[in-house]
Structures are given as structure tokens and as C-alpha cells.
Structure 1
Amino acid sequence: MGRGFFINKTLAIAGVILAAGALATIIALSVVYSQAKAKNQEVQPTNGGTSPTTTPSTPTNPWDHYRLPDSLSPVSYNITLWPRLEANVATGLYVFTGQSAVVFECRKSTDLIIIHSNKLNLTLVNGHHARLTGLDGAVPPAIIKSWLQPVTQFLVIQLDGELQTGKQYELYSDFTGELADDLGGFYRSEYFVGATKKVVATTQMQPVHARKAFPCFDEPALKAVFHVTLLHPHGTVALANGMNLAPVNVTVNGQDVTRTSFEATPIMSTYLLAFVVSEFDFIRSPEGEKYLIRIWARKQAIAEGQGNYALEKTGPILEFFEKYYDTVYPLPKSDQIALPDFGAGAMENWGLITYRETALLFNNESSSNADKEWIATVISHELAHMWFGNLVTMRWWNDLWLNEGFATYVSYLGANSAEPSWNYTDLIVMKEVYKVMSVDALASSHPLSTREQDIMQPAQISELFDSITYSKAPAVLRMLSEFLTEPVFAKGLSTYLDTFKYGNTVYQDLWKHLQMAADSTPGLNLPASIEDIMNRWILQMGFPLVSIDTAKGTITQNHFLLDPNSTVDRPSEFRYEWIVPIKWIKSGTEQTPFWLQTKTDTHLPLKTSGSDWVLVNTKVSGYFRVNYDLVNWERLLTQLNTSHEVIPVINRAQIIDDAFNLARAKTVSTTLALRTTLYLQEEREYMPWETADRNLGYFFLMFDRSEVFGPMQAYLKKQVTPLFNHFEMITGNWTTIPENHLDQYSQVRAISLACSSGVPGCDALTTSWFQAWMKTPEKNPIPANLRQTVYCRALAAGGVVEWDFAWTRYQEATVASEADKLMYGLACTKVPWLLKRYLNYCLDPERIRKQDATFTMVYIAGNVVGQPLAWDFVRANWNHLFNDYGGGSISFGRLIEGITRRFSSEFELNELQKFIKDNSDVGFGSASQAVDQAVERTKANIKWVAENKDDVFKWFSDNSQTI
């Protein structure tokens, strides 16, 4: 590794400052440049002729490829940035100015320097965009010409000679960028203290936004050391990955500013770089503690103690991961900062983790049990990345699943260590496994890992940040850990991290180290190598349906599809067969696990007689669904209806979820699936009720606009009434909170389902709470756990007065989690013009923050009254949403899924297909796959409704009568 490089401080300051006139010129150029980029035009011809308007389909020039050539490798960066926290008077734009010097080594001789640069205006020096010098005696070739290549987001520098292999050079550039509110790169976040607007300059570099902050080699494998200096107004504080050194007050071009420099980072990827300038305050771990931990947020939030829970749990989670990885935390500090505007939930920047406020801040009065769980989980997820992802990083984005899937899996372990009374690890089945199976059962799903060459463009990279990556990956890694055992799994991770620390890997490297750990552990008896087993789960999409015939003792597997008639056009070298670990119980007794290695096998212990029943996939440790012969199904149903506690609670949830999904796939009858819910009158546990609610929720989506709705609602009312009465009793008529973590969720579920199905007294309860709050707005009497449900039910029953009251409370909310609950509740009104007004607010960031626009529109679409309004709104405004909200501030995949999930008619399918055709010129970016899935899902819904409506109507009618 090359040595670090520091620019003379005077040069650093002078280089970043621009006179007012020059700044205005650059701002104007910025606007022109952005417009040109939006039109896919090149700023300068590449060959002296007319520039093409698009990148050729088969690029011939290296700058027309989306991947960097392998000729140069960065060693270190020295970056100075000055964000302006006030808008320019002449243009109204917020900007930042900066300079960057990158030291790089020439790996292969070349006469080109190609480096990422996007939405930056580079100052011309002697007619060129940068200045090149040689280090340690290297003689730099002269620059012939340089230009920006906006389609592939490159700065290209043509030299009059070749760079020498093994020599190091320094590339220096001055630049200006817009400190926009697009939530990507170096951007601004805003909040108010009274009537005073405060501006925060902050970052989100993942996946390809570092190039919007400074010219860089913006690929994860091109790691380097970063030296950062920030210039910022007096009264603000600057943070970055490294520890901040003592700030110095300086005067630059007549302006008094503070200069803060930071300790050099370890060698790391550009997407992990972060810096923030704000007026925030912080709390920290006591002097002498093992870790220096600081929690940063708005001063009011810190003063109110909203950072206390995060500070309390960060240390124990860090300590857990040190032990789990058997590797010390590699940094001198851990800063965590809550931002008013942040597109993702959080970002694992090394040493400076950025969060949405809802993911870091907890208020004892207004935050719910679910809010606390979310905070613990997200903190655990991001801290897990400090080792897995940051210390050792994927080579390219096609292995993003490894980073995110692993962090998601172990986040449950870390959160469970911090809150052991929650028994949190089992919830991964509800929150990840079953959630993603509904997507992975589509023919338009995709494998976890793809070839590098298939993921090139920024939109293709962004598309990988989906539920397959975040939820399927932890599901299969959990399965791997289960059959290896957790100690063996952790042992393999430890040697993996030690071998590749500060470097990059591919997933095969992890398999190798886990195999080493397995080979050194007697008694595992794996049927094949870890690579052979796991490649079947990551290199082909989907998962198996394991079918058991207890009369014959046979077991088979098939690729499970929600629509068995759909065409799977994605080939697989494994022919959609898996090596499946089978854990099972017989009549309540755990049996010896075994492996299913072929399409069909005979395992005679599965054969039963008499009243014995078999249940496969104990604790849902495997990523597959299970079907049985009808005799065994009947025995399981009998057990549920006579003594359901004999079946483990997580497997009671499994029976319901498998049955409903098998019914959608026409493998079992819909009435059999519905019968799995009959026993729920006796069920008090959270997981079975949560699973039933989700699956019956599909029925409500399909039938809440038809005559099926009445009997369906009556049935749900009958089933949930005992649950409602139970919690009314044990909470003293709703005056206390259940002690158990999951019981608190069950209480919320009881009230939500009881009110939506018309249980007597429920709506009166929620409305009375809300009316009491309206009488005394300064004191909210509604229990924090119940607020989201109460807001929704009260606003559904109310009108404009209730809605306006809630809207005012939303605008005035100083606790982000409380604002989120109100944002959800506001979408529940049944008044169409209020919903229409609410949708229009989504286009006004002064009313609805850009980070919240997706959620708001999806919430409205979840309302049967709001769904057609939201669909019309998105269609009418797609161009605006895509172009103005597409820079990291909106999840288009989530939006498309949310507004189309109720589609179940030919008319809606035609509208969806017309929407796709009408916007082919605009495009769908990271939502392209979600659009395909919406079409497939709609077609499947149409079939399902046509085939099941009559039977469903009869079943609910027959079973909704109260005896």
C-alpha cells in the first residue's frame, strides 16, 4: 500500500474557495450540465465529431463501459469540502465547493485516466478538468484533453503518453456541486426550530453516489485511505468516518469559518464514506468505557433523552459482535447520527452510521414497543456491517446479498443479546422468511447471486436492494447456520474475516472458510460440500415445495410457484432441485434430521398409522414449504382443534402460512387452508395470529369490493372476539400494558382486527381515546403501543375535523416515530377528497418529506377508498416522481408493489399494461423488476379470484354464524 498523502493546508483552503462571480457561473453551468445529463447527452464529443445521444449498445471505447478499466488503483484521497448551509441569493440553490487529490497507482500502462464523476462541475485548469502530477520521481504525461461522460458518469482524461506500471500519480481537481435535497451523494436535510429553518449537510454514498461528492474510483473493490477536511459555519459541528481533530477558526475570502480535519480512515470502499455538518448535539459513553460511542441528533431530541436507548444498547451489541466474530472492533469510535431526511433506514458508514430518526431515536412517552424493537434491530444490523461488509467487502454488487443478508441474519442475534427477554430470534421467520417467500414464489423472481457482467448500470445495482437480497439471504444463511450449528458457523466467519480483513471477497471465499470449520468438526455428516449445497440456494431463484406422503413414507421436492402454470424462463444448471435439510417431529416428538438430496426419496420413518401425525421443518429452520397427504393434514387440523399447544408455536404459524400459499398454488383446496384458522378462537400467541392476519389479508384485498366481504368480516369478528376479550381482561380494561414482548404485539393485533371486523365496543374505545386527545392536545392519553391502530380507526370513523386535527399534530410532531404513526393514520380516512389532498401533499416536500412520499402513497393505496385514487395519482405524476424523486429519495419497487397489490380484474391488468407502455420512454429504473412482478401477480390474482370466489363465499357464510 502506498503512503498517505496530505495537501498543504493553505493550498487546501485556497483551492476550495471560489469568488462570488465564479461561483454563480459554476452554479449556472451546474444547471446546464444536469439538464444535459438528464437527456443522456455527452458534454463533450469523444472524437471531435457530433456526440451520440446515448451510449452504444456494444461499447468500443472504455469510457462507454459502466465498469472502470483495471489499469489504475487508488491509494489515498485528500478531500476538502465546504457545504453552504444557506441558499445562494442569486440562484436559490444550495451548493458545496471542494477539491480532491487522489493518489493512484498504475497497474497497467495506459494513456487514459477514467474516474467517476457525476453531477459535479469541475473547474477548468489550463483548459482541463484536473491536474496530474507524478510522485517519487514519476514523470506525468501531459493532458491532451478531458471531458465528462455523463451517461457512464466518468471524467475522462486523455494523456499524450502512457502512465508507467508500478508508479504513483496524483490527480487534483476543484469542483462545485449542488447540495440538493435528493437524499443521494452529498445532500441537504432540513428541519425547523420554531420558525427557523436549519440545514444539515450529510451524505448517502451507497451504492454509486460518492461520485456526486468528489471525483473518485467509485467501485467497492477499489479501496483506499481517506483524509477528509470540512469547512463549515461557526456554531456547527463536523463529523466524518475518522475521529474529528480539534476544529480551527479561519477566515477565508472574508468569510469566517471553522475548519475540521479528521483522522485518516482505514483502507475502505468509497460507498462507506460519510461526512455531516450540523448544529446537532450528542450524548456519549462515559470516559473509560471500552468503546467511544456518540449518539447525535437534533438538540431537542437529545435534550428529551431520545438517544438514551440507542446509547444504552450500542455497547452491548458491539461487545456481542466482537465475541461472535472473534475479532475486535476495528475503529477508535462509533458515531451514530439521526437525520431528519434519509432515504434508507440506515447506512453502515464505517465509524459514522447514519439513520432515519425513527431507526435511532426512542421517546419513552410516545414510542411503541415496535419502535424499540426496530431501533435495536437496525442498530444491530448496521453494527454487524462494521465487520461483515466494511472490514471485509464484496468485490462487486452482484454479491450484495452476502453483505446485507448476513447483516440481517445476525442482527436478530445481536438484538436478542441486547434484549434477551424478547426471544427475538424466532421472529426472523415472520419478518423475513415468510415475507420474501411471496416474492420468491413468482416466476419473475431472481437468484440471490448473479454474474458480475449482468450488473453494470447504476439502475441495475439499485434494483438489487430488494427483498430477495434483504430477506431471502438471511433465510438461507440461517438455514446454513442451523445445519452447521452456530458455533461452527461462527468459527468459519472468524477465519474468513481474519484472512480477508481490509480486502474484498466473493461468496466462494465464505463457503471455503465455512467448509474448513465444518471439516474440523466431527459428527456433522454433511451430504455434500457446503458449496454444492448452498450454490443451489443462491444461484437459482425460488425454493422447493417438499411433499410428504405418510401412507408410503415418501418425500419429494418441486419448484414452488404461486401460479403453477406460469412460465419459468430463467434456466438453472441445478434444474430447480435443492439439497434440503429436513428437521421434523412426529406427534409432538422430535425425530432424527435427514437430507433430501434427490427429486424423490423414501424415508420410512415418515410413514404413520393410527392418529400419529408428521410435521416437517421444525422451527421453520429450512427455506421451503411443506405439503402432506390429506390424511396427515386432517390429523394436524385435529391436533390444532383439540390441543394446539402440542405443536410448537412457530410451527402453528407455519401450518397456516404453508396451507394458504399451497391453496393459492392450487396444491390444496382453499377450504383446507381456511380450516387452519378455525382453532384461532383458542389461540393467544402472536405468531399464529400474525400469520393468519397476513393470509386473510390477501382475501380482503381480493374481496373487499365484492359480496364476499360481509361474511368474511363476520367470520373474522367471530374468531377475534375471544382474543379481544382476553386482552381487555388481562390489561384491566386496557389500562395496563402486557409484560411479554410478543403479548404487546398481540394486544395491538386484537384491537386492530376487532375494530376492522366490528367487534362491539372496539370502535367506541378507539374513538373515545382520540376524542379525549382532541380535547387536550397537549396530553395524548392513547397508549404508545396502540396509537397507530387508534389513529387509523378514529380517522376512518371521523371526518374533516378529526383529519385536520391529526394533520396539525403530524406537522408539529417532534418525535419521528410519532409522526410516522400519524402519517399512517391520516391515510385511513374514508373521505375521498381528504385522501386526494393527502396525495397532493406527497409532491410538496414542505408537507411530506421526500423520504416519506413512498410510504404515504402506499398507505393510501392500502385503503380500499384510496386505492384507485393512489393509482390514478401515480399514473398522472409518474414522470415527475421518477425524475424528481428518483435520486435515492423514493423506493419505486415498493411503490409499484403497494399500489397494484389489490389488482385482480382484467380491467386493472389492462390499465397496468397501458401504464407500462405509456411510460416506456420515461422508464422504471430500479422498479423494472417490480413492474414485471406486478403484472405476474395481477394475472395470478385474476385466476385465483375466478376459481375460488364461490367456494370462499360459501365457506365464510357457513362458518361465520355464532353458536
Structure 2
Amino acid sequence: MLVSLTLAEARVRAALLHDVSYVLDLDITDADSFAVRAEVTFSCREPGAETFLELAHALELRVDGAEPEYDGNRIRLTDLQATQTILVEARLPYVTDGDGMHTFTDPADGETYRSAYCSIDIAHLVYPCFDQNDLKASITLRVTAPEAWTVLANSRVVSSENGRWEFATTPPLPPAMFAMCGGPWASVTWEHAGLPFGWHARASLREQLERDADDLRRVTEACFDHYAEVFTEPFPFDSYDQAMVPGHNWGAMETPGCVTYRDEMLPLSPLTQPERRARSMVIAHEMAHMWFGDLVTMTWWEDTWLQESFADYLGFRVAQEAGVEAPWVDFTIARKPYAYLADARRSTHPVAPRAEDVPDVDAASGNFDALSYAKGNSCLRQLVTWIGEDAFYTGVNAYLSRHKWGNTVLDDFVDALDEATPDRDVRAWAQAWLRTTGFDTITATRDGDGPGSEVVLTREGSRPHTLRVTSYDDSWVELGSVFVDLADEPVRVPGAAVVVPNAHGETYARVRLDDVSWAAVSQGLAEIPDPDARALLWATAVDLAWAGELPMDDFLALVERHLPAETHPAVAHNVPTWAGGKLLTTLVPAEAVTGVRARLSTTYATALEQDPHPDVAAVLTRHLAAVDSDQPRLRGFAATDDASLRWTALKRLASLGALDADDIERERAADGTIVAELGAARALAARPDPQAKADAWTRIVENPKISNREVQAIAQGLWDPERTDLVATYVDRYLAETPRLAVARGSAFAELMGKHVFPTVPLTEGQVAALRTALAGDLPTILRRAWEDALDDVAG
């Protein structure tokens, strides 16, 4: 298992070393392992001292021609010179779990792809390095690959001939931002603003890349041009490639000059509108990282927010400039509720915790969560609402220029903002918003009876809020919006039939409407013309249900009453996602699951009968296929050309006992793509048969080379909330066997098992008790965090 770098070790090493650079030579031509030759040059402030290089799981290793002192994770370096170069030659294994040099063979055409997926504490699974953010280094890369391949990396190609690729030396980068992607890529390239751009995907996805090329280019250029306008620091790298890669654990990774995305973002079937909107926002998010994270990088992992919160905020903000209509609708209903959920768990942490509260990298990995992303995004949105966009960008630009190519902490950003806003106490704001945990609640009450009575807003909590309050008449005509500042003292606003605090989500706080307004919303939610306000009210309903203030039956009644009239695709997609996902498996008792799914199925079918916009129809059809029990209708879905819909329907048919293994194999063989491979794994595991469940579990736990995608697909089929008795034994086995597997297979597998294989079924009291008992044992940090979060969710 990997050794987690500690804050204390990182501080000692950063104080000792400086001026680091790497010359890397990778050979990825061998089928079983890859070779790396690294010249590591650095200066030492204390000659004669010792330190260590990280390099994990080396199969062969020589340092300066000799066998080093090596424990499988670290190479000991002694008697350091003032300046020296160390030559490391090693052979390392490929991985199939997305952490390291990932290898993937495409079942569609037999082509192989090998890509270095780095990020937090992973770079040293690819090359020897001082794997911490504040030891930035230039990287000169050479790669030997099969002759038919194209190789992508962080910088421009200097030369390529006969499978030998050389790239320009990069500016100083954190080791985790190294990128190398090799394979027979399909590519679309062009020039914009004097720089080379490209989009790349697996050869078997050439048709889909060409299908989406215009949209991908348009969004890329729109985001680039907007950042060029608002940032005074120019784009900091010499090229901008973006690659849809197989096996990626993250949604995307901001590796400079070569951003990598999960290739699920280039699906076989045309994207639904929510998928297209989400992809545009991720493109904007990753490009923001070129400045926030790559040009200027956090020093240690307590300041994850300095990268992720900014990129998340700008991803939604700048997506609007790229043509995404009302992007905050997606954020409000799809992402923000998870922040409130995370803030209620024992693992809650400030958006910007103290460094000492993140003692090692394993602890830091848990902070890539809804608090660092969605809550941090919300905090920044509140900050911009409070100080104004001009002042915000003035501070941002001062921060970027002052610290370019360097490392920063919270105070560096606050200093820059404070200078830009002499009339605002940004330090106090940062203390209140970024150094504290939890959320405030904004409650509206009526000072009198009837819809005309004045509404009083009060805050339960400690933060000052600037928020929009929108009022409607009884015909859902907007009467007006007003911004108010709410802190310790109540704020009064004029009465109306409906008064909605935080109507566009400018602040981070739970909202509780007054009784008159909520009664009107319950009857007329779908009639509200503003999609931002509808999203806020749907999110409030989700939060009320999760908090136990709205019975699940009442929440389902809202869905039945209003979803069929919903016109915004993001709302139409995410309300069913909540209703049929997290809320169902956590709040609905096992014996009621089938009935709830039947209600949802009827609601989606009713909505589709009303001939909704094609974008809404597409998402509702997929949700219907996931819960429907009408086998003829499901077989119709399974006969479509939409691969996602087809395999959703086939999995549902399998779970109903309507398909056997031979049926599924025929479908898989007729398709031949990775979508079919994973869809078949999901459908095989979904069959309501004890042997099918036993086979599924065996595939997960007994194949050490199983890919991350296959594990997740099997788990999605294995757990069946309608047949908890059938999978009960695997809940027990999951809790008993996962700790051993997590230790044996490392942090990536631990996270996969903890987050994506955890049973998605209503748990019995006994199973919850077993989870508590398991948490009393010795667990890897990453698995413990995932299980504690799960326990907090199911135990309330």
C-alpha cells in the first residue's frame, strides 16, 4: 500500500530543496510494464542532509547505476550536494484502476491506450519525483511508443519520428500535473489566438468526435476568449489539447496543456441536453485551472478550495459566456444539495481548513468533496454578490500576477482581495465563511394572516448574507426582486402570494418558506416561469425530505403533480435522480421500494404522454427505462439506437428476470463496444438469481486486474433495492471483505469500494449496526472516510 506523505515531511523537504527539474524518458511499448529513465536535478540548502524521492511499486530499480535503499514507496537519498543530478532507471507496472499508467484495450477494435493519470499522491506511480505541490519543477519529456500511436503531453511536440516523441520543456509544474497520453487517437486540431488546440478520443469514437467537434471547439474558444478578457495574466502554456480518455477516475483533470476527461463525456449516442450542459461546464472548469491550480498552486492540501472552488464557480459562471442558458439551474438542483448533505456529516470541514487539520495526503483526498467544490463555489458566488464582480476580478488578477508559478495559502488570496476592496472587511468575511463549518438556515415567517402580510426573514447561524428575495402574485407573475443584507437582525420585505428568499441561489443557506408561500408552491411549483427559482424550490424540497421535515410520500406527491409539466431539462433530469436514487435508497423502507418505483414510472410515462420538448423527453425516457416494469415498453427501448437507453432498459429487463445470460451475451456480442462490455456486466449482475449475485461478487473480489469501470458497473447491477433479501449476504460480505481488499489493492481501489460499491439498498438496523462495528476496526483512511459518510447518511 502507498505511504501517505505527511504535512511535516512535506514542510521539511520543501525547506531543504529548491530548483527542481526532471528529464523523463518513458518507454510504453512493452505489453506488461513500462520503463522510465529520469534525471532528477535539484539544489539543496543544507549539503550533507538527506531526503527521499517517491517512486511506488517499482519492479526493477537502479539509482546512479546501483541498487538504492528502497522500501517500495521511497528512495532514500543521503549526503546531498548543493546541486546534483540523480539518475533513476526503473520498470513499473501498468494499472487498470485509473491511478498511474493506465492501460486499456478497446473491445470495439482491439486498439490499446496507455495514459499517465496523475493527481493527488499519484505522480510517483509514473515517475520518480518529490511528489508535493510546493516543489514545482520543469519537465522535459521523451516517449517511445508504438509507431502508429500519437502521444500527447503537457507541452508542444518538438519532434516525432518512428515512435519517438520529444516535447518542449514545461514551465514549473506540480508533479501531480504531469500528463502523457499514448494511443491511436482520433483528433480534431486547429489554431486559435495563435496557439494550437486539439480534441482527441479513442479511434473507435472518431464518429462521435466528429459529431461533436463543432460544439467542443465553440465551447473551448468561448471559454478561452472569456478568460483572456477577465484575466490580465495571459494563458500560461504553449498549447491546449483536450483528450477523452478511458478509465479516468476523475470527471476531468486539469493537467496543463493536456486536459483529460472521462470518455463517457463523448457517448456513443447523441448527448442529452443536461449532458451537453454539464460537459460545457466541465470544459470551463478545467480551463479555469490553467490559472487557478497550474499557474498558481496551493502549497498544501488545506487550500484545495483555492483551486477547486474557483474552478467550480468559474465553470458555471463562464459556461454562460459559452452559450449555456441558465447554468446555475444545474448547480442549484444537481450539486448544491450535496453540499448541505456533506456539511451535516461528521466529516464536515471548513472550505479552508487549517493546514494542521490535513495531516497527510490520505486525509487530504477526502477533502475533494462537495464542500471544496459545491460549498466553496457557493461561498465565492456569495463573495462576488457582496463585493461586486469588478472588485472580485481586480483582486483575482492581483493574486495571479503576484504569485504566478508559485504556491499560495488562503492569506495570499485574502490580501489581494482586501487591497481591492478597502470598503469591505474581506478578512472577516473569510473567517466567517471559509474557516467555519455547517450551513445557516434562512426562515421566512408572516407578520400576520394572508398573502398580503409582511414577510420577516431571520437567520439561524453566524454568517452575513446578501441575497435576492423574489415575490410572485397568485398567478405566478413575478412582482419584483430585491437584494437584502441579512445578519443578526431580522429583515422585513413586502408581502405577496409567494415570497422566495435566495431565489437565484446567491448565498449558501438552507431556505424555509413561510407557510402561505410553501402551500402555494406545493400547488403551483411547475407554473413558476423562472427556472432558477424552480430549481431552488425543488432543491428545497429535496432538503426538506432529507431533513425529515417533508415526508417522502409528500415529496413524491410533488413529483407526481409537477414533474409532468417541467420544461427545463436539468430539472427534469435531476428531480428523478434524487427521487429514484439517494432519497429512495436511504429514506424508503425496503418493502415500499417497488411501490415507489411504480409511482415514479407512472409519473414519467404520464409526462412523456404530454409530448414534452425533445430535450426533456430524452432524459425522462432514460429515467423511465431505469424503473419501468412494462416489459413490452422496455423491449422497445432496448431496440433503439441510443446505447445509453438500450443498456438501461436491458439492465432493467435483466433485473425483472426477463433476460438470461445468453440473452445478455448476444446483446454484448452484437454491440462490441466498451459501453456494451460494461452494460453486460451490469445486466448480468442485476439478474434476480442467487448464482448471478454470487458470480458478480466473485468478479469484484477475486480478479486483481479488474478495471475500475467494471467494478463500478457490476456494483450497479449487484445491489437491488427491490430485492434486499437476495443481496443481504453481500452487504455482510462487503463490510467484512472490503478492508482487506482496500489494503491489498491501494488507495484507488479503497476509494472505489468505499464510494462506488457501497450497497445502494435500504439497510436494516442490523446492517447499520454491522457498519458501526466495521468502523471500530482498523481501516485505511480513505475507506474510513467513505464509510463514516455512509453511516451518517443512513443513520440520520
Normalised by the size of structure 2, how large is the TM-score? 0.86
**Which residue number in structure 1 is paired with residue 741 of structure 2?**
881
**Cα contact 1:78–1:227 (8 A) shared by 2:** yes
For residue 276 of structure 1, the aligned residue among 181, 185, 193 is 181
1:285-320 deviation digits (Å, cap 9, x = unpaired): 26x774312233333323664573544543333223
Report the 3-state secondary structure (helix = DSSP H, G, I; strand = E; otherwise coil) of the residue aligned with 2:176: helix
1:449 to 352, 358, 368: 352
Comparing 274-283 with 398-407, which one deviates more in the overlay? Answer: 274-283
- Are 2:751 and 2:786, in contact at CA under 8 Å, matched by a contact in 1? no
Aligned to 2:289: 385
Which stretch shows the higher mean deviation, 207-216 or 871-880? 871-880
Amino acid across the alignment from 2:458: T
Give the CA RMSD over aligned residues. Answer: 3.7
C-alpha deviation, 1:543, in angstroms: 0.7
Map 1:803-822 onto structure 2 (within 5 A). 804-810=662-668, 813=671
- Whole-angstrom CA distance in 2 between matches of 1:650 and 1:662: 18
Q: 1:590 aligns with which of 480, 485, 491?
A: 480
- Assess if the C-alpha contact under 8 Å between 2:546 and 2:583 holds in 1: no
Matched, 1:833 2:736: no
Q: CA deviation at 1:499?
A: 2.4
Q: For residue 451 of structure 2, what is the aligned residue in structure 1?
A: none
AA matched with 2:372: T
- Aligned pair partner of 1:618 in 486, 503, 506: 503
**Which of residues 725, 747, 764 is equivalent to 1:905?**
764
Would the aligned equivalents of 1:900 and 1:934 in 2 still touch at CA under 8 Å?
no
Q: Deviations over 1:564-590 (max 9, x none)?
A: xxxxxxxxxxxxx21222321233433
| SS of match in other structure, 1:81 | strand
* CA-to-aligned-CA distance 1:24-47 (integer Å, 9 cap, x gap): xxxxxxxxxxxxx67x8xxxxxxx
Question: Which residue identity does 1:181 align to in structure 2?
Answer: T
User: How high is the TM-score relative to the length of structure 1?
Assistant: 0.72
Hey, what does 2:466 align to over in structure 1? Answer: 581
- Which residue of 221, 246, 259 maps to 1:340? 246
Selected match of 1:436 from 339, 342, 346:
339
1:186 and 2:108 aligned: no
Q: What does residue range 393-412 of structure 1 map to in structure 2 within 5 Å?
A: 393-412=297-316
Residue 431 of structure 1 and its aligned partner are, at CA, apart by: 2.1
Match of 1:213 in 2: 126
What letter matches 2:719 in structure 1?
A
- CA drift of 1:399 comes to 1.0
Shift of 1:828: 4.8
How far apart, in 2, do the equivalents of 1:703 and 1:503 lie? 47
SS at match of 2:13: coil
Aligned partner (choices 592, 604, 607) of residue 492 of structure 2: 604
Asked whether the equivalents of residues 223 and 321 of structure 2 are also in contact (C-alpha less than 8 Å), the reply is: yes
Contact 2:442 2:458 in 1 (8 A): yes
**Please, which of 138, 149, 156 is the counterpart of residue 76 of structure 2?**
156
**Higher mean Cα deviation, 290-299 or 697-706?**
697-706
Structural mapping, 1:379-528, within 5 Å: 379-420=283-324, 422-519=325-422
Distance 1:271 1:702 in 2: 36
Structure 1, unmatched stretches of 5+, are: 1-36, 41-53, 88-93, 130-146, 250-257, 520-525, 560-576, 731-737, 774-780, 941-963
Q: Describe the shift of the 1:490–1:912 C-alpha distance in structure 2 as closer, same or farther (beyond 3 A).
A: same
1:123 pairs with 33, 50, 62, which one? 62
The answer to whether the 8 A contact 2:336-2:375 is kept is yes
The Cα shift of 1:502 comes to: 1.4
Q: Distance in 2 between matches of 1:656 and 1:122?
A: 57
Q: Quote the offset at 1:418 in angstroms.
A: 3.3
| Partner-residue secondary structure (3-state), 1:540 | coil
Q: What one-letter code is carried by the residue in structure 2 that aligns with 1:220?
A: N
- Letter of the 2:531 counterpart: V
Structure 2 residue identity aligned to 1:428 = F
Deviations 1:684-733 (A, max 9, x none): 23466556545544564357655555765676567556423213xx5xxx
Deviation, structure 1 residue 426: 2.1
Tell me the amino acid that sits aligned with residue 234 of structure 1.
E
CA distance, structure 2, for counterparts of residue 267 and residue 390 of structure 1: 9
Larger gyration radius, structure 1 or structure 2: 1
Q: 1:412 to 1:862 in 2, by over 3 A?
A: farther
Q: How far is the alpha carbon of 1:228 from its aligned partner? A: 1.4
User: 2: CA distance between counterparts of 1:682 and 1:786?
Assistant: 20
**Aligned counterpart in structure 2 of residue 725 of structure 1, from 595, 601, 609:** 609
Check 1:496–1:122 CA distance in 2 against 1; reply closer, same or farther (3 A cut).
same
SS in 1 for 2:238: coil
Give the superposition deviation at 1:826. Answer: 5.5
Q: Secondary structure at the match of 1:928?
A: helix
Distance 1:283 1:643 in 2: 44
The offset of 1:383, in angstroms, is 2.0
Q: Give the structure 1 partner of residue 512 of structure 2.
A: 627
**What is the CA-CA distance between 1:914 and the residue it aligns to?**
3.1
Give the 3 Å change call, closer, same or farther, for CA 844–293 of structure 1 in structure 2.
farther
Q: How many residues align?
A: 778
Distance 1:126 1:467 in 2: 47
Q: Is 1:176 equivalent to 2:91 in the alignment?
A: yes
State which of 441, 446, 456 in structure 2 corresponds to 1:545.
441
Q: Do the aligned partners of residues 644 and 226 (structure 1) sit closer, same or farther apart at CA in structure 2, a change above 3 Å counting?
A: closer
> What is the aligned partner in structure 2 of residue 102 from structure 1?
40
Query: 1:179, 1:186 within 8 Å by CA — same for their partners in 2?
Result: yes
Using a 3 Å threshold, how does the CA distance of structure 1 residues 515 and 887 change in structure 2: closer, same or farther? same
Identify if the C-alpha distance between structure 1 residues 446 and 840 changes in structure 2 by more than 3 Å, giving closer, same or farther. same
Helix, strand or coil at the partner of 2:351: coil
Alignment of 1:275-354 (within 5 A): 275-285=180-190, 290-302=194-206, 305=209, 308=213, 309-311=215-217, 313-354=219-260
- Would the alpha carbon gap of residues 154 and 585 (structure 1) be closer, same or farther in structure 2, given more than 3 Å must change? same
* Cα shift at 1:433: 0.6
Q: Is the 8 A contact 1:800 1:834 kept in 2?
A: no
CA apart distance, 1:226: 1.2
* Counterpart contact for 2:108–2:672, Cα < 8 Å: no
Quick one: distance in 1 between partners of 2:511 and 2:610? 32
**Fraction of identical pairs, as percent:** 18
> Does the C-alpha gap of structure 1 residues 80 and 595 become closer, same or farther in structure 2, counting only changes over 3 Å?
same
**d(CA) in 2 for partners of 1:616, 1:67:** 49
Q: CA 1:210 to 1:863, structure 2 compared with 1: closer, same or farther past 3 Å?
A: same
The 5 Å alignment of 1:235-250 reads 235-248=148-161
User: Is the CA contact 1:659–1:672 (under 8 Å) kept in the aligned structure 2?
Assistant: no
Q: Write the distance in 1 (CA, Å) between the matches of 2:46 and 2:662.
A: 65
Aligned counterparts of 1:712 and 1:305: Cα–Cα separation in 2? 39
Equivalents in 2 of 1:385, 1:889: separation in Å?
Answer: 26
| Closer/same/farther in 2, CA of residues 650 and 699 from structure 1, 3 Å limit | same
Q: Does 1:745 align with 2:619?
A: yes
Q: Does residue 685 of structure 2 align to residue 685 of structure 1?
A: no
CA distance in 1, matches of 2:90, 2:566: 62
Q: Relative to 1, partners in 2 of residues 1:904 and 1:339: Cα closer, same or farther, differing over 3 Å? A: closer
Aligned-residue offset at 1:820 = 5.8
Partner SS, residue 182 of structure 2: strand
Q: Alignment partner of 1:615: what SS?
A: strand
1:474–1:227 Cα change, 3 Å = same
What is the rounded CA distance, in whole Å, between the counterparts of 2:704 and 2:204 in structure 1? 20
CA distance in 1 between counterparts of 2:766 and 2:667 reads 39
